[in-house]
Amino acid sequence: MELPVVNHKDYEAQLNDDNKFPIKKFGELAKALIKNKIVKNFYIPEPCSVETLKEAHTEDYINKIKNKTLDKNEIRKIGFPLVDSVVRRSFIATGGTVLATKLALNYGIACNTAGGSHHATSNEGAGFCVFNDVAVAAKYLTSRGLANKILIIDLDVHQGNGNSEIFKNDNQVFTFSMHSKVNYPAKKSVSDLDIELEENLEDREYIDILKNNLKYLNEEDFDFVFYIAGVDIHYNDRLGKLKISDNGIFERDELVIDNFFSNKIPICGVLGGGYNEDFNKLVELHSSLHKTCAKFLL
């Protein structure tokens, strides 16, 4: 069976070239997935409804995004200009993760080609994250009784502080974040389980730590998993402070997907961060998530 993958051309917002975020990666990733025959046709999402967003965000914050009325400081904290294409992208990428979640329930595994906006809290955006798509989709599942015990496994180099904030009093969602100690955010939040990695950590140690934690996580009876597959753990990333190779990333993805797929737990994969110095490498590394998921559905 072909892997269900969600994509929309509007994931690629119109930013000036001086913006530090490599926004063009979304369009290039979609092209690469078609070219490499991982996907024939994408599932096209609708913008996420305000009703659904309200399950994880305050109405006041949603309206401030919709009406572009954030103040200067709030906009600076996000790092994107608050222009129409960014607003549209925020609604549609969140709709994309909600759609991928529904597809994962039906097919066992599905991915978005964006998502993992894990720094956004209920009332604030930060670090290139406007709406917290995974939090919205997790709430979508629990509030409808579609899942009762969700794991968010966040392997982006940065801590998933938005998710740990949103779910701190929610015992239906377990937040696991394995991240670099010295990376953003300086002041870490408290997840259900945080693993802080030392600067310059390399493949072998990284994979061993991950394996041990998967063993621990397997003792819980999760019925749905979100995987935030950030590739900013790569040694050539502009922001990440770890030293993981291409192979380390492929091995990580395989380990995570295999672990949950073989236990028949539905898994929704989202992109997470990536700021590689080499743009083509960045697209290749992001596509590892989809390539690996597709392999398990063959």
- Binding of Zn ion by 230 (CB under 5 A): yes
Contact 51, 16 (CB under 8 A): no
Query: Binder to Zn ion among 10, 55, 156, 203 (CB under 5 A)?
Result: 156
- Binding of Zn ion by 232 (CB under 5 A): yes
Site pattern 174..203 for Zn ion (x: CB under 5 A): ------------------------------
272: phi > 0 → left, psi -120 to 50 → alpha, else beta; which?
left
Closest CA to 208 of 195, 223, 221, 199: 195
State which of positions 238-277 bind Zn ion (CB under 5 A). 273
Calculate the alpha carbon distances from 273 to 1, 102, 103 in Å. 28, 23, 23
Residue 115: CB minimum distance to Zn ion, A: 12
CA distance 106 to 118: 25
Query: Binder to Zn ion among 8, 57, 158, 241 (CB under 5 A)?
Result: 158
Sheet arrangement for strand 224-228: 5-6, 109-112, 267-270, 224-228, 150-154, 173-180, 193-197
Q: How many of the other CB atoms lie within 10 Å of CB of 69?
A: 10
**158 in catalytic set:** no
Stretch near Zn ion under the rule CB under 5 A, chosen from 21-29, 34-42, 153-161, 190-198:
153-161
Residue 37: CB minimum distance to Zn ion, A: 29
Give the nearest residue (CB) to Zn ion.
273
Stretch near Zn ion under the rule CB under 5 A, chosen from 20-28, 47-55, 81-89, 151-159:
151-159
CA distance 277 to 20: 11
- Indicate the residue among 55 and 284 with the shorter CB distance to Zn ion: 284
Residues belonging to the active site: 119
